[in-house]
Amino acid sequence: MSSSAQHTLRIQSDVLLSDLTTIHLGGRARYFAACRAIDDIREALAFAREKSIRVCVLGGGSNVIFADEGFDGLVIHIETSGVAVQDDEDATMISAAAGEGWDPFIERCIEKGLGGIECLSGIPGLVGATPIQNVGAYGQEVCDTIVSVRALDRETLDVVEFPNRDCGFGYRQSRFKSTDADRFVISDVKFRLRKHGRPEIRYPELQRFIASTADLNSLPDGEPILRAAREAVITLRRRKSMVIDPRDPNSRSVGSFFMNPVLTKEQFAEVQTRWENAGGTATVPTFPSGERIKIPAAWLVENAGFHKGYRRGGVGVSLNHSLALVNFGGTARELINLAGQIQRTVYKKFGVELQREPVIVPA
């Protein structure tokens, strides 16, 4: 997965970035390099260093928003490929190059009867992006199955390996997003998946949906039961326009725009008090998060007045999910302004600061 390039890297100019993102926003990159091997990435970084220009590493474009003015630097597009499988007694180690599509990778694992990532089905993007944000959904996170992450150090151009314990994983968080943001380019990720896997359905919404559509107890372990879980997850995601579909205008987004706030008990009590003082009668919905309390960001957004279908200029809130901000033919500036308005209104009403999930790349 880190074989040497067999060609001289081609550096392109003036490449339109909106075509490479799921939200279809952003201007043109001054320089652009499609990197299919580690040596391509090294060559691209050396080019940027020689020119003294900024670098933006781009994967599947499902969690990034480029400025309308574009990017006055080099965009490195990760297009590496390769999957390696190693069997253990009770598990299978499977390594995937950063440029492998995430959902096709899950499909491949399920075909082999390997469990542990089936509830992350339907999420767009590439394998290499999943550790950065510790991607999670429906009760699973990638940190549950990641063994190690290999990455290229942008300063030394050496490949280094991080075992799970050294990745700094947290809720939608890792060292690659926080302390070491922009220091490494992930090259491949190794997972430990269960043979003849059986899904662990922890998320209440998914539990209810599966109970109404299938009898999991009647399905054998491995591919049949994992596929049933996968199909249920994709169905739920599609209903929320969280599966990229050119036929669905509400899927022209970066998925969930805000993270669910995790609060102390005292902070939550303040939210509940503010809600009641504003005339709210129902209890604020919560999920446990260790010693803390997690509030659905979608609930905060809706109850701050930004209902599903809310429109402002050429952007708005998805008709099917209040956490998805959608491009309806607008601009990146409009979208970022809407996000800021939502954040300010939620803070004013509930005293909670919503944190963005997507990366906003300045020109």
Q: What is the CATH number for 275?
A: 3.90.78.10
Q: Are residues 109 and 133 in the same domain?
A: yes
Helix (H, G, I), strand (E, B) or coil at 138: coil
Indicate the residue among 210, 239, 268 that finishes a domain: 239
Give the C-alpha separation, 343 to 305, whole Å: 12
List the catalytic residue out of 62, 174, 241, 256.
256
72: tokens are 């006055």
Q: Given this model, what pLDDT does residue 4 score?
A: 42
pTM summary value: 0.92
Q: Are residues 73 and 210 in the same domain?
A: no
Q: Are residues 235 and 346 in the same domain?
A: no
Q: Are residues 274 and 170 in the same domain?
A: no
Q: Given this model, what pLDDT does residue 84 score?
A: 97
Q: Are residues 345 and 230 in the same domain?
A: no
Say if residues 221 and 298 touch (Cβ distance below 8 Å).
no
Can you give the CATH number for the domain in which 188 is found? 3.30.465.10
Annotation marks residue 318 as catalytic = no
Indicate the residue among 204, 239, 274 that finishes a domain: 239
Annotation marks residue 311 as catalytic = no
Indicate the residue among 20, 54, 78 that finishes a domain: 78
352: tokens are 């909670």
Q: Are residues 299 and 179 in the same domain?
A: no
Say if residues 86 and 44 touch (Cβ distance below 8 Å).
no
Q: Does residue 19 fall inside a structural domain?
A: yes
Q: Are residues 94 and 235 in the same domain?
A: yes
User: C-alpha angle 266/269/270, rounded to 5°?
Assistant: 90
Measured in whole angstroms, the distance separating CA 118 from the mean position of its chain's CA atoms is 15
Q: Given this model, what pLDDT does residue 240 score?
A: 95
List the catalytic residue out of 150, 172, 194, 252.
172
Q: Does residue 90 fall inside a structural domain?
A: yes
Q: Given this model, what pLDDT does residue 243 score?
A: 94
Give the C-alpha separation, 56 to 75, whole Å: 5
Helix (H, G, I), strand (E, B) or coil at 325: strand
Annotation marks residue 253 as catalytic = no
Helix, strand, coil share of the chain (percent; to 5): 30, 25, 40
Q: Are residues 114 and 223 in the same domain?
A: yes
Element (H, E) at 227: helix 223-239
Residues of the chain with pLDDT under 50: 1-5
Q: Does residue 305 fall inside a structural domain?
A: yes
Q: DSSP letter at 199?
A: -
Q: Are residues 62 and 103 in the same domain?
A: no
Q: Are residues 200 and 104 in the same domain?
A: yes
Beta strand pairing call for 287-289 and 292-294: antiparallel
Q: Given this model, what pLDDT does residue 212 score?
A: 86
Measured in whole angstroms, the distance separating CA 299 from the mean position of its chain's CA atoms is 20
Q: Are residues 234 and 89 in the same domain?
A: yes
Q: Does residue 3 fall inside a structural domain?
A: no
User: What are the φ and ψ backbone dihedral angles of 83, each rounded to 5 degrees?
Assistant: -135, 130
Q: Given this model, what pLDDT does residue 7 score?
A: 60
Q: Does residue 1 fall inside a structural domain?
A: no
Q: Given this model, what pLDDT does residue 210 score?
A: 87
Give the C-alpha separation, 319 to 8, whole Å: 46
CB atoms within 10 A of CB 329: 11
> Domain containing 73: what range?
11-78
Can you give the CATH number for the domain in which 56 is found? 3.30.43.10
Q: Are residues 332 and 270 in the same domain?
A: yes
Number of domains, the chain: 3
Q: Does residue 59 fall inside a structural domain?
A: yes
Q: Does residue 298 fall inside a structural domain?
A: yes
Q: Does residue 6 fall inside a structural domain?
A: no
